[in-house]
Amino acid sequence: MKSLRIVFVVLLMAGCAAGSNFKPKTAEGANCKVQCSKDMANCQGSSYTCDRATATCINACEELDAIKSQ
């Protein structure tokens, strides 16, 4: 039962991060987005705190991707 709950939470969290409009153009941006998804899946705070942290992470990835693509 516990493993099923963990799988559900991971899928739910990954779905939220995957719902972002950010489409990386560089390998660095893609790796950053993957790391944000992993971090969200392991987040121990409230849903609001985890969502805000993920949004900030994705914004940083967008900036990194823009810099690297120039």
- At 19-68, the pLDDT tens digits run 579 999 999 999 999 999 999 999 999 999 999 999 999 999 999 999 99
The dihedral sign for the CA sequence 54, 59, 65, 67: negative
Cα 42 to Cα 36: distance, rounded to the nearest angstrom: 10
Note the pTM of the prediction, 2 decimals.
0.70
Identify the domain containing residue 43 by its residue range: 2-18+27-69
Number of domains in the chain: 1
Cα 30 to Cα 28: distance, rounded to the nearest angstrom: 5
Token pair, residue 59, equals 């914004």
